Structure 1
Amino acid sequence: MGIHDGHREKVRQRFLNGGLESFADHEALELLLFYAIPRRNTNETAHLLMERYGSLSAVLSAPVEDLQNVPGVGEHAAVLLKLVPQLCRKARLADAGQDVVLNSSEKAGNYLLECFAGEQNEVIYQLCLDRKGKLLACKRLTEGGVSSADLNIRQLVSNALLIGASAVILSHNHPSGIALPSSDDYVTTERARQALATIGVELADHIIVADGDFVSLSDSGYFSR
């Protein structure tokens, strides 16, 4: 038995008996890291992660490359830390996607808030809908840097065709924390609308998400111009 095995078993049993309710954030990280760092003191590593990022949510949304700058965090641990929140989000979206009807900007915006939760870079999503607004597919189109992501028009159109969408909602986030559309956002919206129109698919909205809020270009009157 290794020097840390007895401590690890106590922590595991504590979790199995009572869940994470009584765990401090660094203790929860310590437990998770057991499964990527087999023979080191993960308590120390967990403290270093919390000191670097300031909160548990910030640790779990940090880039893999940056996580590896923390002493004791190798590639396996960094990937595990990145995987856990994304896996949970994927499960929530899968549950939410069962017979979801996004026939209003409020419903679509609230759905997209979950999609963008924890994102640090700008990401573009495409929601494909049928004629009644039922969600057929949610596609992650691209990811850019902290401030920009380029829309792949060909992929946007291809997705709509393959899925048989009648309408599409385009969405991206502003990592800066301001959801107001930029001039580039309007240009992108028009490019997407014209491209989808060539295959008979409506661009129903372009929703911009930032800091737990969203702005709908449809609600702002842009699509009625």
Structure 2
Amino acid sequence: MTTGFEIQADDRKHISGHRARLRHRILTGQGHALHDHELVEYLLALAIPRRDTKPLAKQLIEEFGSFSGLLVTDTDALKNVPGMGETSVAALKIVQIAALRLISEPVRTQPILSSWQALLDYLRADMAHLSHERVRVLHLNSKNRLIRDELVSEGSIDQAAIYTREVIKRALALGSAAIILVHNHPSGDSTPSRQDIAITKDICDAGRTLGIAVHDHVIIGINGHTSLRSKGLI
């Protein structure tokens, strides 16, 4: 007859062996073949070494829809999941931060207009899965290199505020030669609204009188993006 202790010991042995196999695949270049829940499982195992993290990993993927959806989920929402503590949440968030740092390197080190696809990849990774609207302004120097990537506002699921006066005032303070406006549509549809078009025209007009160019206004959605310049709206 087995005792409860023996069952727990067997479970620990099974979990240890499973994690060792995951680790081996990661270290031997086979990590690309891991399922999304296996990636999350191993991350959580680093934060919760004495627990079988596979069920929690599968639950997180299911609840937040995808691996990318999980990584960009709000910290508070992750903490509200039973079994998730600060260390577990931090384990997921450091992956998001590292991924964004890697993707954004061309944006930070090369002229923006010559690394446009890298910029779009970075913006989609950072904003496409957000459940609320975020507005940011990219400030560029005369060589179109990034001076500052600034968060202007974060709003509800419907809208976030952006004010022409504040955008131009900040551009003057930073000595920006040009700016790129960016925001996301939580609905997933990147089609510009009348308000998006109107505020873009206002900022373009204000910037023009002060020698500040508006290169574009990019709207990010989960299914793609829209450039107001490519649409002939700037």
Q: TM-score range by the shorter chain?
A: 0.7 to 0.9
2:126 paired with 1:139: no
Q: Flag the 1:112–1:22 CA change in 2: closer, same or farther, 3 A.
A: closer
Query: Is there any run of 5+ residues in structure 2 with no aligned partner, and where?
Result: 1-8
Kindly indicate which of the two structures has a greater share of residues assigned to helix: 2
Match of 2:162 in 1: 151
TM alignment of 1:1-225, pairs within 5 A: 3=12, 6-7=16-17, 8-102=19-113, 108=116, 111-119=119-127, 120=130, 121-151=132-162, 153=164, 156-197=167-208, 199-223=210-234
Q: TM-score, normalised by structure 2?
A: 0.77
> Which letter does structure 2 place at the counterpart of 1:116?
R
Deviates more, 1:213-222 or 1:83-92: 213-222
* Percent identity between the two aligned chains: 32
> Which letter does structure 2 place at the counterpart of 1:115?
L
Q: Is the 8 A contact 2:191 2:226 kept in 1?
A: yes
Distance across 2 between alignment mates of 1:154 and 1:36: 46
CA deviation map 1:150-194 (0-9, x unaligned): 125565335423442211121211121222211221332244335
> Which letter does structure 2 place at the counterpart of 1:43?
K
Q: TM-score, normalised by structure 1?
A: 0.79
Look at both structures and tell me which one has the larger radius of gyration over its CA atoms. Answer: 2
CA deviation map 1:119-147 (0-9, x unaligned): 31322221223345444443333322322
Q: Is the 8 A contact 1:126 1:141 kept in 2?
A: yes
> Which letter does structure 1 place at the counterpart of 2:16?
G
Query: Is there any run of 5+ residues in structure 1 with no aligned partner, and where?
Result: none
Distance across 2 between alignment mates of 1:134 and 1:63: 30
Distance across 1 between alignment mates of 2:21 and 2:54: 13
Q: Is the 8 A contact 2:124 2:222 kept in 1?
A: no
Distance across 1 between alignment mates of 2:116 and 2:170: 18
Shift in Å at residue 42 of structure 1?
1.1
The alignment covers a number of residue pairs equal to 219
CA deviation map 1:51-79 (0-9, x unaligned): 32343222222222222333211232123
Q: Is the 8 A contact 2:183 2:220 kept in 1?
A: yes
Shift in Å at residue 10 of structure 1?
4.6
